[in-house]
Amino acid sequence: MKHFSLEKHEKKQMTKIHLSGKKESCEDFVVKEYPLTIYIHEQEIATLVCSPNHMDELIIGFLAGEGMISDREDIQDLSINDKQGQAYLTLAQLKGFSREMINKRILSSCCGKSRASFYFFNDSRTAKRVSSSITLEYKQCFYLMEQLQSQSLEFLQTGGVHNAALASPKELILSRYDIGRHNALDKLFGYALKEQLDLKDKIIVFSGRISSEILLKVSKMGIGILLSKSAPTSLALDMAHDLGITTVGFIRRGQMNVYTHPHRIIGL
């Protein structure tokens, strides 16, 4: 499998208008939006709209999250035609695929079902209650978020991407960005599978809203603590309670909100 990276963003002409009425013509960095269609055994599986970097990791993480692969050894071959936006895979075994599963990628992240059931097709097989015993000093929540923000060069240039990182309680290990919140997490998951990285003692540090889909992805990775600078949804918090995940939101301006399973945040 190869690592692929296309141009990250483009310059576009624009007219900047000030409150005073002054106009000026200039260029602005605009994040690149890239459709990537996945084929397995020549069968079209899904089209992911993403940022065109670390696409092999994105594909691996996406397929693992959907229960179609368990580890990197399930993939016999992976090639990407970056000009046409197509990825071709051969798997040792094609499993867990149905059209209902693909429809999940098109629908919004909340479909209004009751808390007692899982919320997307196929999640009951792949979302598991997290048993991680990891703990985190509360001051480290602020430090890890500061580290994520300081590394977010693409956001600073374009304002159009989400950032996610794998971390230990002491430091960031790996960060990825994408126009899609879920894609950024898929890239982290794909990297972990490629490198056979144990995730039980890891933390997710995240820039985006904690939606139910994001929470499910964290559970599938087996990670016990999710830190975000943004807000959670009520459905995500219900699921975090059920799945044993510590969720911390609004980590900004010297404050944070611990919503679920606070026993992992120590020193309070």
Both tokens of 212, joined, read: 């139910």
The active-site residue, picked from 26, 50, 110, 111, is: 111
Q: Is 263 helix (H, G, I), strand (E, B) or coil?
A: helix
**CA 142, CA 254: separation in Å to the nearest integer?**
7
**Which residues lie below 8 Å from residue 171, measured CB to CB, with a gap of 6+?**
144, 147
111 has catalytic annotation: yes
**Which residues lie below 8 Å from residue 59, measured CB to CB, with a gap of 6+?**
36, 38, 48, 78, 80, 87, 89, 190
Give start and end residues of each alpha helix (H) in the chain: 55-65, 99-106, 123-126, 138-150, 153-158, 181-194, 212-221, 234-243
Residue among 144, 200, 180 at smallest CA distance from 54:
180
Q: Is 229 helix (H, G, I), strand (E, B) or coil?
A: coil
The single residue listed with the structure tokens 């997290």 is: 130
- Helices (H) and strands (E) in the chain — how many of each? 8, 14
Residue among 47, 264, 229, 234 at smallest CA distance from 149:
229
Residues 217 and 228 sit within 8 Å (Cβ to Cβ) = no
Active site residues: 111
